[in-house]
């Protein structure tokens, strides 16, 4: 694939981790980038909460480490442009966070709690507001003298009948967005049904003449599906979400496929268990042990999926309460 730039940032390849609440922890993002992802945004963080509560409450979700991650991206959600302005000002006053490479805006979240406030995927139904949010983020960063790109992650529509929203893609590009990523499902679909490459392609086409990269997302689960989505949408890059859970090796495999180099071997059982522990160790650096292990319970099964005896292991792992216990269950003591 051709080299891709987001603003002034040159990506080492155009394959990113898709942001996932509860999954996109800092250690997982570091691991994915180490395996070949060009960058891995944080999960969605409320611009309003940052505005009114400061960064403290949200820090665990938006923690970044430019040194270990390389390119970093913080994803904000909200509906009031003033919240985004205040949130960006606060981020830019905060050590480490102010070094962030990209500010991403969530315009795709389908969760009722978010949508009913007019945020996430609801913004697709309010293009003026969406445009105003992008412009506000851009202006705020410009005013602070920050050459930080503003990107948007959205969907192919809100209602069941929507089959791509080319006008919405144009609204975002006209507002000054530096990259658009589209997940090929409507809000109504949540995560069900198929991601539509056709609907993504329609949005891609709408902004082909703009000098900004377009990323596609949805249902990419291996090297073959990555190639298919790229060919059928004409996108510049892709984001991989669920298939990366407990499987950061997917980035190694997809980058090898696209570079035409030899496909790396799939990790064996030992390697997968060790990777699980590595992510948990990373989480322990900034969370108390009981919280880190509890929050990791829903993630651990992804790492052991398919290995012999995984159902039994899963039952033990989801009730584990300490690091040593997890190690013991995995037979890695």
Ligand X SMILES: Cc1cc2nc3c(=O)[nH]c(=O)nc-3n(C[C@H](O)[C@H](O)[C@H](O)COP(=O)(O)O)c2cc1C
Q: Hey, which residues are catalytic here?
A: 109
Residue 198 CB, shortest distance to ligand X, in Å, is 16
Give residues in contact with ligand X (CB under 6 A).
Answer: 18-23, 43-44, 75, 106, 108-109, 153, 183, 191, 217-220, 240-243
Residue 61 CB, shortest distance to ligand X, in Å, is 9
Residue 45 CB, shortest distance to ligand X, in Å, is 8
Is 161 exposed, middle or buried, given 0-12, 13-18 or 19+ CB atoms closer than 10 A? exposed
B/e letters for 285-315, b = 16+ CB within 10 Å, e = fewer, are eebeeeebbeebeebbbbbbeeeeebeebbe
The region that residue 129 occupies, defined by phi over 0 for left and psi between -120 and 50 for alpha, beta otherwise, is alpha
Q: Which residue's beta carbon is nearest to the bound ligand X?
A: 241
| Cα–Cα distance for residue pair 276/301, rounded to 1 Å | 9
Dihedral (CA of 63, 66, 72, 77) sign? positive
Residue 18 CB, shortest distance to ligand X, in Å, is 3
Alpha carbon 114 to its chain's center: 17
Dihedral (CA of 198, 242, 58, 286) sign? negative
Residue 328 CB, shortest distance to ligand X, in Å, is 28
């Amino acid at each position: 694939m051709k080299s891709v730039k987001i603003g002034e940032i040159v990506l080492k390849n155009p394959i990113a981790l898709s942001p996932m609440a509860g999954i996109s922890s800092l250690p997982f993002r570091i691991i994915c980038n180490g395996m070949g992802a060009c960058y891995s945004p944080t999960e969605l963080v409320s611009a309003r909460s940052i505005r009114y509560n400061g960064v403290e409450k949200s820090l665990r979700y938006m923690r970044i480490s430019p040194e270990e991650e390389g390119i970093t991206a913080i994803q904000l959600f909200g509906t009031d442009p003033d919240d985004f302005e205040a949130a960006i000002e606060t981020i830019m006053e905060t050590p480490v966070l102010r070094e962030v490479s990209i500010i991403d805006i969530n315009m795709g979240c389908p969760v009722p709690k978010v949508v009913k406030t007019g945020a996430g995927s609801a913004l697709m139904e309010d293009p003026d507001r969406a445009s105003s949010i992008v412009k506000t983020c851009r202006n705020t960063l410009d005013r602070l003298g920050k050459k930080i790109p503003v990107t948007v992650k959205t969907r192919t529509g809100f209602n069941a009948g929507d089959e791509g929203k080319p006008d919405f893609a144009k609204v975002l590009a006209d507002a000054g967005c530096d990259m658009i990523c589209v997940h090929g499902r409507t809000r109504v679909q949540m995560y069900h049904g198929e991601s539509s490459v056709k609907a993504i392609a329609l949005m891609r086409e709408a902004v082909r003449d703009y000098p900004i990269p377009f990323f596609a997302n949805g249902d990419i689960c291996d090297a073959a599906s990555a190639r298919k989505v790229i060919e059928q949408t004409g996108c510049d890059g892709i984001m991989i979400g669920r298939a990366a859970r407990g499987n950061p090796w997917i980035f190694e495999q997809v980058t090898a496929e696209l570079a035409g180099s030899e496909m790396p071997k799939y990790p064996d059982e030992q390697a997968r268990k060790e990777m699980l522990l590595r992510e948990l160790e990373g989480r322990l650096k900034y969370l108390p042990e009981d919280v880190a292990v509890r929050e990791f319970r829903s993630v651990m099964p992804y790492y052991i999926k398919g290995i012999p005896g995984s159902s039994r292991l899963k039952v033990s792992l989801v009730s584990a309460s300490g690091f040593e216990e997890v190690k013991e269950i995995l037979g890695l003591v």
